[in-house]
């Protein structure tokens, strides 16, 4: 009897550590998003464009979405639409990563990674497979923003290393390049469609401040004079 209990428990736990989460969408979406003038890149959540599958963003499972800024920006915030099958993450639970573009397709070299200084979670009023879809806004460290050059393609990823409970919503509409993912540690980046799903984007919004040539340290020195 004890053996049966252990096997049953392991099977139940494993079901929440899948590379994908499937289900149905339910509810009414209410999102508070920034003014479009603040966007570096915009792919906002639209219920009608959501697949019935979400990609894992934990453990060995990384994913990345591309963006190409029309001006030079310090990236300040990235917004995702996420599902947590366990406790929702705080800043220390997440990492954000930026990559350059691989001419062969997908992300190339990692350019920047860091832990957010803040994570804001907004209940969208929509559930997926019975779990809340969270509007997840991460704030990058203001001492170390990622600097994105004009008309250069980059890839951005959000990842939860320590808990197998974090999923990213997929978008049926592809803008730019479809999302890429890694399904095993150290493995190659592959298009999302090669894992058995149609070509897809991930929902996200990127915010930033137009880059100025004087850095924050310089501004601090100038202010100290007055």
The count of domains in the chain is: 1
Q: Quick check: is 11 in a domain?
A: no
Distance of alpha carbon 202 from alpha carbon 188, whole angstroms? 19
Question: pTM for this one?
Answer: 0.85
169 touches 83 (CB < 8 A): yes
Task: Kindly state whether residue 16 falls inside one of the protein's structural domains.
Answer: no
- The enclosing domain of 152 has a CATH number of 2.60.120
Residue 21 covered by a domain: no
**Chain segment 103-145, per-residue pLDDT in tens:** 999 999 999 999 999 999 999 999 999 999 999 999 999 888 9
| Measured distance CA(198)–CA(16) in Å, rounded | 23
Cα distance between residue 60 and residue 158, in whole Å = 13
DSSP string, 176-210: SS--EEE-STT---EEGGGGTS-S-EE-EEEEEEE
Q: Give the model's confidence band at 14: pLDDT under 50 very low, under 70 low, under 90 confident, else very high.
A: very low
Q: State the pLDDT confidence band at 3, using cuts at 50, 70 and 90.
A: very low
pLDDT, tens digit (0-9, with 9 covering 90-100), for 56-85: 999 999 999 999 999 999 999 999 999 999
Model confidence at 147: pLDDT above 80: yes
Structural domain boundaries enclosing 84: 40-211
């Amino acid at each position: 009897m004890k053996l049966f209990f252990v096997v049953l428990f392991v099977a139940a736990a494993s079901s929440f550590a899948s590379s994908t989460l499937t289900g149905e969408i339910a509810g009414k979406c209410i999102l508070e998003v920034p003014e479009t003038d603040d966007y570096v890149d915009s792919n906002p959540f639209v219920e009608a464009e959501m697949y019935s599958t979400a990609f894992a963003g934990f453990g060995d499972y990384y994913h990345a979405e591309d963006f190409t800024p029309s001006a030079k920006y310090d990236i300040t915030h990235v917004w995702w639409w996420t599902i947590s099958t366990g406790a929702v993450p705080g800043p220390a639970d997440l990492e954000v990563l930026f990559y350059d573009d691989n001419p062969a397709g997908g992300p190339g070299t990692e350019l920047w990674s860091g832990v957010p200084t803040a994570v804001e979670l907004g209940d969208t009023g929509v559930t997926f497979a019975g779990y809340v879809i969270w509007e997840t806004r991460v704030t990058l460290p203001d001492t170390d923003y990622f600097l994105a050059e004009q008309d250069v393609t980059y890839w951005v990823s959000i990842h939860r290393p320590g808990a197998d409970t974090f999923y990213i919503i997929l978008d049926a509409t592809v803008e730019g390049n479809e999302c890429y993912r890694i399904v095993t540690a150290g493995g190659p980046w592959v298009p999302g469609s090669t894992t058995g799903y149609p070509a897809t984007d991930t929902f996200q919004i990127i915010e930033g401040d137009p880059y100025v040539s004087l850095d924050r340290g310089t501004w601090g020195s100038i202010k100290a004079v007055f």
